[in-house]
Amino acid sequence: MTGALDGFSVRQIARGVAAGDFSATEVARASLDAIARRDGEVQAFQQTTEELALAAAGEVDAARAAGKTLPPLAGVPVAFKDNMNLVGTRTTCASRMLASYESAYTATCVQRMLDAGAVPVGKLNMDEFAFGSTTDSSAFHSTNNPWDLTRVPGGSSGGSAAAVASGEVAVALGSDTGGSIRQPAALCGVVGMKPTYGVVSRYGVVAFGSSLDQVGPLGRRVEDVAAALNALTAGGRDRHDAMSQDCAQDYLAHLDDSVEGRTVGVIPALLEAAGLAAEVRTAMRDAEERLAGQGVRVVEVDLPNMASSIAAYYVIASCEAFSNLARFDGVRYGYQEPGHATLARQTSRSRALGFGAEAKRRQMLGAYLLSSEAYDRYYLAAQKVRTLITADYRRAFAQVDAILLPTSPTPAWRHGEISDPAALYLADIYTISNNIVGNCGISVPVCLGSQSGLPIGAQLQGPAFADARLLTLARALERASDMEGRVAPAFAGRGGELA
């Protein structure tokens, strides 16, 4: 089997390595070559890990030479969002605060990918501490959308989405607190999944909002995402994460099952909402028809409190961010501004200079919302809204298997085009409610926009722990589109060849 790495699925790479069509080392070098040739323009990576990659690939090749059975992702190049610890790398969260922090241990999600035979080629850019929807708030550099380098890749897992869309890696991991996997996946034309809260361990992932965060995979195909989810759950419950559940199963087993007789809900009012681009509206109606054409029954449902989700989210998330980031004080670890007479002054200056504008904005908001005069009015009220939204979803999922809605209200916008923080927050308006309740969700690219020519993603949301069923529906939607496995045209074949 020969050709460009771009054309291979995760399973094709693993099977090719197992069959001896090519070695894991050849695959690793092809991925590193693609990064060297493409990432100067895309800027998806914070660091590449050539030594780690070649060492891991060498272990796979040695195991094959010894006649051992190879693990399911043997030789598959993978990269990790830079809030995930991996020994031998820095974990910076794209912040000056952690610019020199060396990972002291490896996150469970990272280790499980490595245990499955995946080859680590680097750490990926992100919005600072995962605060953002553009990847422009990184302290080090912006990441560009491979479909149009003048545009954002989304965020906060923009580096993860861009690395997959440009063909630099076969699969990447991101984290999703309010849409941070699904929204960049939609903007970059790849598949991105937020599993149910608790399905994937968060141990070793720097926390943003502990009741909202979930780790998930991004790939060019639903199949790639399902294969990665198999690896992420293979070890069962992780005792290091109190919310971790034992969700190990074969998420590939029923991927191509018929969806005839399944029921998908739609919310017509959302398609008439202000701010939804006309080409996204058209794409969503086409997605409904494509599912209906495979025997899916499409019915109307209602989430009456969804309009309040963005307000509730930014209260809850900011409070949790304030709590989680309090540890970065320049004393125990993190950026330290020297030369101050008192510890209080040193800590204050270290935090002022170590954090960027959005990180400071979120923490200041959280500090206020948790103050005695604001707690009942805002934080407690937001938690009550969370309960109402959870009840809305429960009623909806009593009628349907999944809900179909946009992932992003618009295709990718240009760098700097939206500067108002409140306007940027609205970019996650269709994804946030899913994190509030902890359900599973996935974004699937369905077309290129009729006006912009840029990728548009449709989002499917399912009830808690219905991840396998959601993947089957996502695969049905993918089958009916012409976006499966696509690399952004400007980067297809540029480096990354397997000979």
Whether residues 247 and 347 fall in one domain:
no
Question: Across the chain, what does the average pLDDT equal?
Answer: 96
Which of 354, 384, 414 terminates a domain? The answer is: 384
Do residues 12 and 151 both lie within one domain? Answer: yes
pLDDT higher than threshold 60 for residue 1: no
Distance CA 67, CA 94 (A): 42
Q: Decide if pLDDT at 2 tops 70.
A: no
Annotation says 372 is catalytic: no
Q: Is the dihedral of CA 74, 45, 156, 404 positive or negative?
A: negative
Cα radius of gyration (the chain): 21
pLDDT digits (tens, 9 = 90+) for 324-337: 999 998 887 788 88
Spatial distance between the Cα atoms of 235 and 278, rounded to a whole number of angstroms: 44
- By residue range, what is the domain housing residue 339? 306-384
- Residues near 344 by Cβ (< 8 Å), separated by ≥ 6? none
**128 and 14 housed in the same domain:** yes
Q: Could you tell me the two tokens for 146?
A: 């491979």
Answer yes or no: is 417 within a domain: no
pLDDT average, residue stretch 133-153: 98
CATH code (residue 76): 3.90.1300.10
Q: Quick check: is 282 in a domain?
A: no
Say if residue 95 is in the same domain as residue 239: yes
What is the pLDDT averaged over residues 117-131? Answer: 98
What confidence tier does 343 reach under pLDDT thresholds 50, 70, 90? confident
For the chain, the maximum distance between any two Cα atoms, rounded to a whole number of angstroms, is: 71
Spot the catalytic one: 81, 95, 194, 309: 81
Asked if residue 296 has pLDDT above 70, the reply is yes
- Shared-domain flag, residues 79 and 210: yes
* Beta carbons within 10 angstroms of residue 115's beta carbon: 14
Residue 106 domain-assigned (yes or no): yes
370-420 pLDDT per residue, tens: 999 999 999 999 999 999 999 999 999 999 999 999 999 999 999 999 989
Distance, in Å, from the CA atom of 217 to the CA atom of 222, rounded to the nearest integer, reads 10
Question: Of 368, 384, 400, at which residue does a domain stop?
Answer: 384
> Do residues 218 and 172 lie in contact, with contact meaning Cβ atoms separated by under 8 Å?
yes
Residue 161 has what pLDDT?
A: 98
Q: How many CB atoms lie within 10 A of CB 341?
A: 7
Q: Are residues 316 and 192 in the same domain?
A: no
The pLDDT confidence band at residue 499, using thresholds 50, 70 and 90, is low
Cα distances (angstroms) measured from residue 487 to each of 112, 154, 162, 190, 465: 26, 17, 10, 9, 30
Pairing relation of β-strands 263-266 and 191-194?
Answer: unpaired
Q: What is the pLDDT of residues 248-272, one digit of tens each?
A: 999 999 999 999 999 999 999 999 8
Q: In this structure, are 324 and 222 located in the same domain? A: no
C-alpha–C-alpha distance, residues 302 and 266, integer Å: 8
Would you tell me how many other CB atoms lie within 10 Å of the CB of residue 285?
Answer: 12
pLDDT at position 333 is 77
Same domain, 252 and 336: no
**237 and 355 fall within a common domain:** no
95 catalytic? Reply is: no
Of 360, 384, 408, the last residue of a domain is 384
Based on the domain organization, do 250 and 343 belong to the same domain? no
pLDDT in tens, 410-452: 999 999 999 898 899 999 999 999 999 999 999 999 999 999 9
Q: What is the pLDDT of residue 380?
A: 97
CA 433 to chain CA mean position, Å: 16
Q: Is residue 119 part of a domain?
A: yes
Does the residue 391 lie in any domain?
A: no
Give residue 39's identity as a one-letter amino acid code: D
Residue 198 and residue 98 share a domain? yes
Q: From the candidates 23, 133, 138, 156, which is the catalytic residue? A: 156
Among the ranges given (93-97, 229-233, 247-251, 351-355), the one the predictor scored with the smallest mean pLDDT: 351-355
Percent of the chain with pLDDT over 90: 90
Please say if the pLDDT value at position 341 is more than 80.
no
> For residues 390 and 152, what is the distance between their CA atoms, to the nearest angstrom?
32
Query: Do 234 and 112 meet the contact criterion of CB atoms below 8 Å apart?
Result: yes
**Is the residue at 427 inside a domain?**
no
Question: Quick one: 168 and 56 in the same domain?
Answer: yes
Q: Which of 9, 95, 138, 180 is catalytic?
A: 180
Please count the structural domains in the chain: 2
CA distance 494 to 499: 14
- Domain assignment present for residue 379? The answer is yes
CB atoms within 10 A of CB 331: 12
Residue 286: other Cβ atoms inside 10 A: 16
- Give the confidence band of 339 by pLDDT, cuts at 50, 70, 90: confident
What whole-number distance in Å separates Cα of residue 269 and Cα of residue 471?
A: 26
Residue 412 lies in a domain: no
Asked if 156 is an active-site residue, the reply is yes
